[in-house]
Structure 1
Amino acid sequence: MPANENSPLLGRSQSDGGLDHPAKTFRPLKSSWFLLTNGWLNVLLVTVPVTIAAKFVNWPATVKFVISFLSIIPLAALLGDATEQLSMSLSQSVSALLNATFGNAVELLVGIVALQQDQLRLVQTSMLGSILSNILLVLGCSFAAAGTVYKESTFRMTAAQTSSGIMTLACVGLVIPAAYHSTYARSPRDGGAHPSPKDLLLGSSPDNGNAPAPHDGTLKGLLVLSRGTAIILLGVYMFYLYFQLKSHASLFEADAQAARTNENGEVEEEEKPEMDAYSAFGWLAIVTVATAVCADVLVASIDETAAQWNLPKAFIGLILLPIVGNAAEHVTSVWMAMKGKMEITIGVSVGSSIQIAAGMIPILVLAAWPLGKNLTLYFADFETIMLFVSVMLVNILLQDGRTNYIEGVLLIALYLIIALAYFVSE
């Protein structure tokens, strides 16, 4: 039985970490060739320079939207491939965190660009959509894919319950502002206005589609509540990272021998990285910059495209953008699930949602503060309800430490129902 076996995203033993290790030998040309030819989605890279050019050319908004939308797909795939290559020499928990972080790079960049362009509702819907996409679509497809290989898959229950507990807390942090608004908003007899069904669904208001209108009497309180909650959630997320990576790291690691054994009981051959670490870091930086430029073109074209296609803007922000942005996590999570590495699957999908809910959303709320933009944690009643039921379903499915394909079907079904609700929102 070969020694020092390991699989993608799993830690390596110290014995193969010499200077001739592939990840430590600077091979920029070979590494770049591998990255650019590693998947068929890379043919769409031809749209990236076109998207950058479109930023300076007066093309129709729909053309810009389609081109920039297509360009983000291969960029997300490149982020995933470069991250996977970089993480081959790391532990499972660090690898899952690294995949979740760079997998969320697209959503974060879209959020930052939308914040700069004062598209606060787009910030909210894209972030919320990323959470739902990860815990329902990505995790659901992973469970279903694992079910095609294994009758039943197992994972460490304590680690999964800890992750779902953090996710529940972050969910509650987003629900409380909505409850505050519903309780203390002025009624029509006090000078407020009756919200329309669309306003209730999308969380918009007659005066400002980005936050509750100031005349309802809750904006000031919502800002204080949201910013305070954001600071608390960031603190909890820091403790969670320490818990995951340092004090209780063993809880998030699968048994090393089991992780290297396939469904036939055979130990898998060692998979060596095709890229050196320096090239992987360099490409991560290049792709991140390119993604930021493409995201800027995409966000700027959404309003006009939604109007011309008669497509709800919330559907674009909550469904379409997250599906593209989560492409890297989706592929990694499904692939790891089919190889029986459920700790990595849950770490990527649920961990990515935790990072968004307890990390990225609070960061964007606090970043909007000095910019004078009233970004809050207030989501409409419909949004908070669907987030709550989604987290509840995930918690129920994770509590026994086992999963099968039917549980994946349940998660996917809930995601499709939510997508349908937003598709008919306008």
Structure 2
Amino acid sequence: MPPHETSPLLASHHDNGGSTRKPFDPIGSTRHLLLGSWINILLVCIPLAFIADALHWSAVARFSTSFLAIVPLAKLLGDSTEQLSLKLGQTLGGLLNATFGNAVELIVAIAALIQNELRLVQTSLLGSVLSNLFSGFYFHESTFQVTAAQASSSLLTLACITLILPAAYHASETEQTAATIKSLLEDGAPDPNDSSLRGLLILSRGTSIILLLTYLGYLYFQLRTHAQLFEAEQVEGEEEEVAAMDQWSAGGWLVIITVLTSFCADILVGSIDETASQWHIPKRFIGLILLPLVGNAAEHVTSVWMACKGKMELTIGVSVGSSIQIAAGMIPLLANFETIVLFVSVMLVNLLLQDGRTNYMEGVMLMSLYFVIALSYLV
């Protein structure tokens, strides 16, 4: 095991990934996708979840089957995206991986919003950011490109700061009565009689628009003006990865998997209240810890696998890029405690990225923070 490992920047594929295009082969592509991992054994839980919902089985049965069904669906979503990204080049492929990696979280959030579970939306999206706290033990020390990592972490910090401002405004403009605090903790929604609500909505929506525009500027920075910071130097002797699925089959399976995930997410969200009550588990713990771990399964597998191969830029690109998309484009107004949790997490990540090197002790610190947060929501 070498004492130091230097990795290429933000890619596991070469720019000429589209030079060898796989011919249309739906049968072979499907075989590769469905038989490519032992995790796909859990696909049997998809029909079980539909049966449990149709026959009105217990909430625990519906929660368990739909929860386990989303695990292979998230993995298949990541695999299909990776096959598509082989044709798109390094940076765009990494962006596509992070974007579709967040599809499960978005589907769960939409299902929760439809069922008026605003608190679940907040905790699940926050948990999606926190679950990207990662650690590594494979190499003694690894290096990565500092400028690109700092640009990403700085944008994540900006998103965190803009989330703090509405929460601070709401705290300063209202008298937090016991009823108001209880409403915030249970529902995650402001009191409709709150006189500061109009200003809060303007501030929240305004910062959301500004964040979205800033993220679009970051994409232009990443893909156009400073693309060289996010491009990998070709390593001599490294073999080019060839797509095992044709592009049409990969795209078709993306659509099918997304539809199946939406149905399973609807069943899952509908069973959370009763399941939390029967299992005596806080509902916020389910939203913050359990749902993000399932939704981020594909990203976690990709990050761990790339980190083991020494590709730290791709690991950081997927993890931090995913967090940026959620923090800058998907998180609604958070209650004060969730905002503080997000802030301290982002601050620690930012500090650890400053020197362009990482080791297992930094990973231990990240994981320790995640476990402390999980414990705080469990109690």
| TM-score of the superposed pair, with normalisation by structure 1 | 0.83
Give 1:204's match in structure 2, choosing from 185, 190, 209. 185
Give 1:331's match in structure 2, choosing from 271, 296, 301. 301
Shift of 1:11: 2.3
Q: Which residue is 2:231 aligned to?
A: 253
Q: Which amino acid counterpart does residue 338 of structure 2 have in structure 1?
A: E
> 2-side partners of 1:182 and 1:90: how far apart?
46
Shift of 1:384: 1.3
> 2-side partners of 1:305 and 1:164: how far apart?
37
User: Does 2:348 match 1:393?
Assistant: yes
Q: Which residue is 2:69 aligned to?
A: 71
Q: Which residue is 2:13 aligned to?
A: 10
User: Does 2:173 match 1:218?
Assistant: no
> 2-side partners of 1:50 and 1:242: how far apart?
44
Question: CA contact under 8 A between 1:8 and 1:271: conserved in structure 2?
Answer: no
- Following superposition of structure 1 onto structure 2, how do residues 10-409 of structure 1 map, counting pairs within 5 Å? 10-13=13-16, 17=19, 21=20, 23-134=21-132, 136=133, 140-141=134-135, 144=136, 147-148=137-138, 150-186=139-175, 192-193=177-178, 199=182, 203-204=184-185, 209-257=187-235, 267-361=237-331, 376-377=332-333, 379-409=334-364
Once the two structures are superposed, residues 73-129 of structure 1 have per-residue CA deviations (whole angstroms, 9 ceiling, x without a partner) of: 000010111111221233222121111111111000001111111111111111111
Question: CA contact under 8 A between 1:9 and 1:90: conserved in structure 2?
Answer: no
Shift of 1:215: 3.2
Q: Which residue is 1:365 aligned to?
A: none
Shift of 1:343: 1.5
* SS across alignment from 2:151: helix
> 2-side partners of 1:30 and 1:330: how far apart?
26
* SS across alignment from 2:55: coil
Shift of 1:334: 1.1
Question: CA contact under 8 A between 2:22 and 2:244: conserved in structure 1?
Answer: no
Question: CA contact under 8 A between 1:161 and 1:398: conserved in structure 2?
Answer: yes
Q: Percent identity, aligned pairs only?
A: 61
Q: Which residue is 2:5 aligned to?
A: none
| TM-score of the superposed pair, with normalisation by structure 2 | 0.93
Once the two structures are superposed, residues 332-369 of structure 1 have per-residue CA deviations (whole angstroms, 9 ceiling, x without a partner) of: 011111111111111100000001111223xxxxxxxx
> 2-side partners of 1:360 and 1:91: how far apart?
26
> 2-side partners of 1:340 and 1:58: how far apart?
48
Shift of 1:55: 3.2
Q: Which runs of 5+ in 1 are unaligned?
A: 1-6, 262-266, 362-375
> 1-side partners of 2:246 and 2:60: how far apart?
39
Shift of 1:236: 0.8
> 2-side partners of 1:57 and 1:102: how far apart?
32
Shift of 1:195: 6.3
Question: CA contact under 8 A between 2:146 and 2:354: conserved in structure 1?
Answer: yes
Once the two structures are superposed, residues 369-419 of structure 1 have per-residue CA deviations (whole angstroms, 9 ceiling, x without a partner) of: xxxxxxx51x22221111111000000001111111111111111000000
CA-based RMSD: 1.8
Question: CA contact under 8 A between 1:253 and 1:343: conserved in structure 2?
Answer: no
Question: CA contact under 8 A between 2:46 and 2:264: conserved in structure 1?
Answer: yes
> 2-side partners of 1:255 and 1:182: how far apart?
49
Question: CA contact under 8 A between 1:156 and 1:343: conserved in structure 2?
Answer: yes
Range 90-99 or range 77-86, more displaced: 90-99
Q: Which amino acid counterpart does residue 409 of structure 1 have in structure 2?
A: V
Shift of 1:8: 7.7
Shift of 1:194: 6.5
* SS across alignment from 1:55: helix
Question: CA contact under 8 A between 1:203 and 1:381: conserved in structure 2?
Answer: no
Shift of 1:203: 4.0
> 2-side partners of 1:120 and 1:344: how far apart?
33
Shift of 1:295: 0.3
Question: CA contact under 8 A between 1:203 and 1:380: conserved in structure 2?
Answer: yes
> 1-side partners of 2:164 and 2:346: how far apart?
12
Shift of 1:160: 0.5
